[in-house]
Amino acid sequence: MADLRGGIDLGGTKIQTAIVDAEGKVVGEARHPTPTEGGPEDVAEAMAAALREAADEAGVETSALKGVGVGSPGDADDADEKTGVVSSARNLPDWEGSFPLGENLKEALGTEVKIGNDVQVATEAEFHLGAGKEFESLLGVFWGTGVGGGLILGGKPWLGRGAAGEIGHMVVKQDGAKCPCGRRGCLEAYAGRKAMEAEARERHEDGEKTDLFKLMEKHDKPRLTSGIWERALDHEDKLTEELIEHAVEALGTGIGSAINLIDVEAVVLGGGLGIRFGERLMEPLTKEMGKHLFVNERPPAMRVASLGDLGGAIGASLLVSR
Protein backbone atom coordinates (compact mmCIF):
# COMPACT_ATOMS: atom_id res chain seq x y z
CA MET A 1 0.00 0.00 0.00
CA ALA A 2 2.86 2.37 0.83
CA ASP A 3 4.17 2.11 -2.69
CA LEU A 4 1.19 3.52 -4.58
CA ARG A 5 1.74 6.58 -6.77
CA GLY A 6 -0.65 8.89 -8.52
CA GLY A 7 -0.41 10.03 -12.13
CA ILE A 8 -2.28 12.88 -13.78
CA ASP A 9 -2.30 13.40 -17.54
CA LEU A 10 -3.43 16.97 -18.16
CA GLY A 11 -4.79 17.24 -21.70
CA GLY A 12 -6.55 19.99 -23.59
CA THR A 13 -9.86 18.14 -23.51
CA LYS A 14 -9.55 15.66 -20.65
CA ILE A 15 -7.81 15.02 -17.36
CA GLN A 16 -6.94 11.33 -16.99
CA THR A 17 -5.75 10.12 -13.61
CA ALA A 18 -4.46 6.77 -12.38
CA ILE A 19 -3.24 5.18 -9.17
CA VAL A 20 -0.34 2.90 -10.03
CA ASP A 21 1.40 0.26 -7.89
CA ALA A 22 5.13 -0.47 -7.78
CA GLU A 23 4.84 -2.93 -10.69
CA GLY A 24 3.15 -0.35 -12.89
CA LYS A 25 -0.32 -1.88 -12.52
CA VAL A 26 -3.27 0.56 -12.52
CA VAL A 27 -5.39 0.03 -9.39
CA GLY A 28 -7.69 3.04 -9.76
CA GLU A 29 -8.49 5.54 -12.50
CA ALA A 30 -10.77 8.44 -13.36
CA ARG A 31 -11.33 10.77 -16.27
CA HIS A 32 -12.79 14.28 -16.11
CA PRO A 33 -13.21 16.90 -18.83
CA THR A 34 -10.68 19.74 -18.71
CA PRO A 35 -12.50 22.95 -17.69
CA THR A 36 -12.95 25.17 -20.73
CA GLU A 37 -13.58 28.28 -18.65
CA GLY A 38 -11.97 29.92 -15.65
CA GLY A 39 -8.23 29.78 -15.18
CA PRO A 40 -5.35 27.68 -13.86
CA GLU A 41 -6.92 27.44 -10.36
CA ASP A 42 -10.02 25.83 -11.83
CA VAL A 43 -7.92 23.39 -13.84
CA ALA A 44 -5.90 22.51 -10.72
CA GLU A 45 -9.11 21.93 -8.77
CA ALA A 46 -10.47 19.60 -11.48
CA MET A 47 -7.14 17.72 -11.48
CA ALA A 48 -7.25 17.21 -7.72
CA ALA A 49 -10.88 16.03 -7.90
CA ALA A 50 -10.05 13.52 -10.66
CA LEU A 51 -7.10 12.18 -8.67
CA ARG A 52 -9.24 11.82 -5.51
CA GLU A 53 -11.76 9.81 -7.50
CA ALA A 54 -9.04 7.43 -8.71
CA ALA A 55 -7.68 7.16 -5.16
CA ASP A 56 -11.16 6.31 -3.87
CA GLU A 57 -11.38 3.51 -6.41
CA ALA A 58 -8.00 2.22 -5.23
CA GLY A 59 -9.10 2.52 -1.60
CA VAL A 60 -6.32 4.95 -0.59
CA GLU A 61 -6.15 8.51 0.72
CA THR A 62 -4.22 10.86 -1.57
CA SER A 63 -2.03 11.83 1.40
CA ALA A 64 -0.93 8.18 1.72
CA LEU A 65 0.43 8.12 -1.85
CA LYS A 66 4.21 8.07 -2.29
CA GLY A 67 3.73 11.04 -4.54
CA VAL A 68 1.87 12.31 -7.58
CA GLY A 69 3.33 13.00 -11.02
CA VAL A 70 1.76 15.31 -13.57
CA GLY A 71 2.26 15.18 -17.32
CA SER A 72 1.55 18.70 -18.47
CA PRO A 73 1.43 20.29 -21.90
CA GLY A 74 3.68 23.21 -22.74
CA ASP A 75 7.37 23.15 -23.61
CA ALA A 76 9.38 20.91 -21.32
CA ASP A 77 11.44 23.85 -20.12
CA ASP A 78 8.23 25.60 -19.18
CA ALA A 79 6.85 22.64 -17.28
CA ASP A 80 9.65 23.00 -14.74
CA GLU A 81 10.23 19.75 -12.86
CA LYS A 82 12.02 21.42 -9.99
CA THR A 83 9.61 24.21 -9.17
CA GLY A 84 6.38 22.78 -10.55
CA VAL A 85 5.60 26.05 -12.28
CA VAL A 86 3.77 25.64 -15.57
CA SER A 87 3.84 28.52 -18.04
CA SER A 88 2.00 29.26 -21.27
CA ALA A 89 0.07 26.01 -21.51
CA ARG A 90 -1.57 27.24 -24.69
CA ASN A 91 -4.38 24.69 -24.97
CA LEU A 92 -5.66 25.40 -21.46
CA PRO A 93 -8.04 28.19 -20.44
CA ASP A 94 -6.45 31.54 -19.59
CA TRP A 95 -3.03 29.99 -18.94
CA GLU A 96 -0.73 32.50 -20.64
CA GLY A 97 1.39 33.35 -17.60
CA SER A 98 3.01 31.13 -14.97
CA PHE A 99 1.10 29.19 -12.33
CA PRO A 100 2.58 27.23 -9.39
CA LEU A 101 0.71 24.03 -10.26
CA GLY A 102 3.01 21.80 -8.19
CA GLU A 103 2.55 23.84 -4.98
CA ASN A 104 -1.18 24.13 -5.51
CA LEU A 105 -1.67 20.37 -6.00
CA LYS A 106 0.66 19.50 -3.14
CA GLU A 107 -1.56 21.48 -0.83
CA ALA A 108 -4.79 19.99 -2.21
CA LEU A 109 -3.57 16.38 -2.16
CA GLY A 110 -1.27 16.29 0.85
CA THR A 111 1.62 14.60 -0.92
CA GLU A 112 4.70 15.46 -3.04
CA VAL A 113 3.96 16.50 -6.62
CA LYS A 114 6.32 16.37 -9.60
CA ILE A 115 5.63 17.94 -12.96
CA GLY A 116 6.93 16.74 -16.32
CA ASN A 117 6.20 17.09 -20.00
CA ASP A 118 3.13 15.07 -21.06
CA VAL A 119 4.60 13.52 -24.19
CA GLN A 120 7.95 12.68 -22.61
CA VAL A 121 6.31 10.88 -19.68
CA ALA A 122 4.04 8.94 -22.06
CA THR A 123 7.16 7.86 -23.99
CA GLU A 124 8.79 6.72 -20.75
CA ALA A 125 5.68 4.71 -19.84
CA GLU A 126 5.82 2.87 -23.19
CA PHE A 127 9.56 2.32 -22.69
CA HIS A 128 9.26 0.86 -19.17
CA LEU A 129 5.89 -0.89 -19.34
CA GLY A 130 4.47 -0.83 -22.86
CA ALA A 131 5.29 -1.34 -26.54
CA GLY A 132 8.91 -0.23 -26.13
CA LYS A 133 9.87 -2.58 -23.29
CA GLU A 134 12.33 -4.67 -25.30
CA PHE A 135 14.34 -1.71 -26.67
CA GLU A 136 17.15 0.48 -25.31
CA SER A 137 16.43 3.42 -27.59
CA LEU A 138 13.21 4.68 -29.08
CA LEU A 139 11.31 7.58 -30.53
CA GLY A 140 7.75 8.11 -29.25
CA VAL A 141 5.47 9.88 -31.75
CA PHE A 142 2.15 11.09 -30.36
CA TRP A 143 -0.21 11.83 -33.22
CA GLY A 144 -3.23 13.74 -31.94
CA THR A 145 -4.38 17.38 -31.76
CA GLY A 146 -0.74 18.21 -32.42
CA VAL A 147 2.19 15.91 -33.04
CA GLY A 148 4.44 15.43 -30.01
CA GLY A 149 7.56 13.38 -29.56
CA GLY A 150 9.65 11.86 -26.81
CA LEU A 151 13.09 10.25 -26.85
CA ILE A 152 14.82 7.44 -24.99
CA LEU A 153 18.52 7.09 -25.83
CA GLY A 154 20.75 4.47 -24.24
CA GLY A 155 17.99 3.49 -21.82
CA LYS A 156 17.50 7.05 -20.54
CA PRO A 157 15.11 9.87 -21.35
CA TRP A 158 16.77 12.49 -23.54
CA LEU A 159 15.39 15.94 -22.79
CA GLY A 160 18.15 17.95 -24.44
CA ARG A 161 18.23 21.30 -22.70
CA GLY A 162 14.56 20.76 -21.92
CA ALA A 163 12.91 21.00 -25.32
CA ALA A 164 14.08 17.87 -27.18
CA GLY A 165 11.67 15.60 -29.03
CA GLU A 166 9.57 18.21 -30.81
CA ILE A 167 9.16 16.04 -33.89
CA GLY A 168 5.91 17.84 -34.74
CA HIS A 169 7.94 20.89 -35.64
CA MET A 170 10.48 19.16 -37.82
CA VAL A 171 10.24 20.78 -41.22
CA VAL A 172 8.86 18.36 -43.80
CA LYS A 173 8.39 21.02 -46.49
CA GLN A 174 10.30 24.29 -46.79
CA ASP A 175 7.93 27.27 -47.00
CA GLY A 176 5.09 24.80 -46.65
CA ALA A 177 1.71 25.05 -44.92
CA LYS A 178 1.30 27.29 -41.91
CA CYS A 179 1.68 25.39 -38.63
CA PRO A 180 -0.39 26.16 -35.49
CA CYS A 181 3.01 27.17 -33.94
CA GLY A 182 3.21 30.07 -36.41
CA ARG A 183 6.07 28.67 -38.51
CA ARG A 184 5.82 27.03 -41.90
CA GLY A 185 6.14 23.51 -43.22
CA CYS A 186 6.21 21.65 -39.88
CA LEU A 187 5.07 18.02 -39.71
CA GLU A 188 2.21 19.16 -37.44
CA ALA A 189 0.92 21.52 -40.16
CA TYR A 190 0.04 18.40 -42.22
CA ALA A 191 -0.63 15.73 -39.59
CA GLY A 192 -1.97 17.49 -36.48
CA ARG A 193 -5.69 16.92 -35.97
CA LYS A 194 -6.20 20.64 -35.45
CA ALA A 195 -4.44 21.56 -38.70
CA MET A 196 -6.26 18.79 -40.58
CA GLU A 197 -9.61 20.06 -39.29
CA ALA A 198 -8.78 23.63 -40.33
CA GLU A 199 -7.87 22.47 -43.84
CA ALA A 200 -11.01 20.31 -44.12
CA ARG A 201 -13.20 23.20 -42.94
CA GLU A 202 -11.69 25.65 -45.38
CA ARG A 203 -12.09 23.32 -48.35
CA HIS A 204 -15.62 22.35 -47.27
CA GLU A 205 -16.56 26.06 -47.12
CA ASP A 206 -15.07 26.48 -50.58
CA GLY A 207 -17.60 23.92 -51.80
CA GLU A 208 -15.64 20.68 -51.67
CA LYS A 209 -17.80 17.66 -50.82
CA THR A 210 -17.17 15.80 -47.58
CA ASP A 211 -19.18 13.95 -44.93
CA LEU A 212 -16.80 14.95 -42.14
CA PHE A 213 -18.92 17.77 -40.74
CA LYS A 214 -22.19 15.89 -41.21
CA LEU A 215 -20.73 13.03 -39.16
CA MET A 216 -19.50 15.50 -36.55
CA GLU A 217 -23.03 16.87 -36.12
CA LYS A 218 -24.68 13.46 -36.24
CA HIS A 219 -22.45 12.20 -33.42
CA ASP A 220 -22.83 15.45 -31.52
CA LYS A 221 -19.10 16.26 -31.39
CA PRO A 222 -17.71 19.77 -31.01
CA ARG A 223 -14.78 18.99 -33.33
CA LEU A 224 -13.48 16.38 -35.75
CA THR A 225 -12.41 13.74 -33.24
CA SER A 226 -10.25 10.79 -34.22
CA GLY A 227 -13.45 8.70 -34.19
CA ILE A 228 -15.07 11.01 -36.76
CA TRP A 229 -11.99 10.79 -39.00
CA GLU A 230 -12.17 7.00 -38.77
CA ARG A 231 -15.86 6.87 -39.66
CA ALA A 232 -15.29 9.16 -42.64
CA LEU A 233 -12.40 6.98 -43.78
CA ASP A 234 -14.62 3.88 -43.49
CA HIS A 235 -17.16 5.71 -45.73
CA GLU A 236 -14.39 6.30 -48.28
CA ASP A 237 -14.88 10.04 -47.97
CA LYS A 238 -12.56 11.47 -50.64
CA LEU A 239 -11.36 14.55 -48.76
CA THR A 240 -10.70 12.43 -45.67
CA GLU A 241 -8.68 9.91 -47.69
CA GLU A 242 -6.62 12.73 -49.17
CA LEU A 243 -5.93 14.48 -45.85
CA ILE A 244 -5.03 11.24 -44.07
CA GLU A 245 -2.74 10.31 -46.95
CA HIS A 246 -0.98 13.68 -46.65
CA ALA A 247 -0.70 13.22 -42.90
CA VAL A 248 0.90 9.80 -43.35
CA GLU A 249 3.35 11.20 -45.94
CA ALA A 250 4.32 13.99 -43.56
CA LEU A 251 4.69 11.58 -40.62
CA GLY A 252 6.83 9.24 -42.74
CA THR A 253 9.03 12.14 -43.86
CA GLY A 254 9.49 13.51 -40.34
CA ILE A 255 10.09 10.13 -38.72
CA GLY A 256 12.47 9.05 -41.51
CA SER A 257 14.51 12.24 -41.08
CA ALA A 258 14.61 11.76 -37.32
CA ILE A 259 15.82 8.15 -37.74
CA ASN A 260 18.60 9.32 -40.08
CA LEU A 261 19.81 11.57 -37.28
CA ILE A 262 19.44 9.38 -34.18
CA ASP A 263 19.09 5.78 -35.51
CA VAL A 264 16.97 4.47 -32.62
CA GLU A 265 15.82 0.84 -32.48
CA ALA A 266 12.10 1.54 -32.48
CA VAL A 267 9.34 4.02 -33.15
CA VAL A 268 6.27 3.86 -30.88
CA LEU A 269 3.22 5.56 -32.33
CA GLY A 270 0.65 6.84 -29.83
CA GLY A 271 -1.79 9.73 -29.42
CA GLY A 272 -5.51 9.81 -30.26
CA LEU A 273 -5.06 9.37 -34.01
CA GLY A 274 -1.98 7.18 -33.60
CA ILE A 275 -3.78 4.65 -31.42
CA ARG A 276 -6.90 4.68 -33.57
CA PHE A 277 -5.14 4.39 -36.92
CA GLY A 278 -1.86 2.75 -35.86
CA GLU A 279 -2.58 -0.80 -37.03
CA ARG A 280 -4.43 0.32 -40.12
CA LEU A 281 -1.84 2.83 -41.33
CA MET A 282 1.40 1.27 -40.10
CA GLU A 283 2.12 -0.30 -43.48
CA PRO A 284 1.78 2.90 -45.57
CA LEU A 285 3.56 4.85 -42.83
CA THR A 286 6.49 2.41 -42.81
CA LYS A 287 6.62 2.65 -46.61
CA GLU A 288 6.64 6.46 -46.53
CA MET A 289 9.35 6.46 -43.89
CA GLY A 290 11.39 3.94 -45.90
CA LYS A 291 11.61 6.37 -48.83
CA HIS A 292 13.64 8.73 -46.64
CA LEU A 293 15.86 6.31 -44.74
CA PHE A 294 19.52 6.70 -45.63
CA VAL A 295 20.26 3.14 -44.43
CA ASN A 296 17.02 1.49 -45.45
CA GLU A 297 17.95 -2.19 -45.16
CA ARG A 298 17.71 -1.85 -41.36
CA PRO A 299 14.56 0.14 -40.57
CA PRO A 300 13.50 0.66 -36.94
CA ALA A 301 10.79 -1.55 -35.43
CA MET A 302 7.40 0.18 -35.71
CA ARG A 303 4.97 -0.33 -32.82
CA VAL A 304 1.62 1.07 -31.75
CA ALA A 305 1.59 2.38 -28.16
CA SER A 306 0.15 -0.38 -25.98
CA LEU A 307 -0.89 1.52 -22.84
CA GLY A 308 -3.60 3.40 -24.75
CA ASP A 309 -5.28 6.38 -23.12
CA LEU A 310 -3.74 5.53 -19.75
CA GLY A 311 -0.13 5.84 -20.96
CA GLY A 312 0.14 9.51 -20.05
CA ALA A 313 -1.13 9.04 -16.49
CA ILE A 314 1.00 5.92 -15.92
CA GLY A 315 4.05 7.77 -17.26
CA ALA A 316 3.32 10.73 -15.00
CA SER A 317 3.28 8.40 -11.98
CA LEU A 318 6.82 7.29 -12.92
CA LEU A 319 8.03 10.85 -12.24
CA VAL A 320 7.60 10.13 -8.54
CA SER A 321 10.53 7.70 -8.46
CA ARG A 322 12.73 9.53 -10.97
Listed ranges 5-13, 87-95, 112-120, 186-194: which one lies at the site for Zn ion (CB under 5 A): 186-194
Q: Is 250 in the site for Zn ion (CB under 5 A)?
A: no
Q: Is 186 in the site for Zn ion (CB under 5 A)?
A: yes
Q: How far is the CB of 243 from Zn ion (least distance, A)?
A: 18
Q: Is 301 in the site for Zn ion (CB under 5 A)?
A: no
Q: How far is the CB of 272 from Zn ion (least distance, A)?
A: 18
Task: Choose which of 179, 250, 255, 273 interacts with Zn ion (CB under 5 A).
Answer: 179
Q: Is 198 in the site for Zn ion (CB under 5 A)?
A: no
Q: Is 181 in the site for Zn ion (CB under 5 A)?
A: yes
Q: How far is the CB of 281 from Zn ion (least distance, A)?
A: 22
Q: How far is the CB of 88 from Zn ion (least distance, A)?
A: 15
The contact mask relative to Zn ion for 260-299 (x = CB under 5 A, - = no) is ----------------------------------------
Query: CA-CA distance, 9 to 316, in Å (whole number)?
Result: 7
Query: CA-CA distance, 16 to 27, in Å (whole number)?
Result: 14
Identity of the residue, 138 or 186, whose beta carbon is nearer to Zn ion in the bound complex = 186
The contact mask relative to Zn ion for 156-175 (x = CB under 5 A, - = no) is -------------x------
Identity of the residue, 183 or 238, whose beta carbon is nearer to Zn ion in the bound complex = 183
What part of residues 37-76 is at the interface with Zn ion (CB under 5 A)? none
Q: How far is the CB of 276 from Zn ion (least distance, A)?
A: 23
Binding residues for Zn ion (CB under 5 A):
169, 179, 181, 183, 186
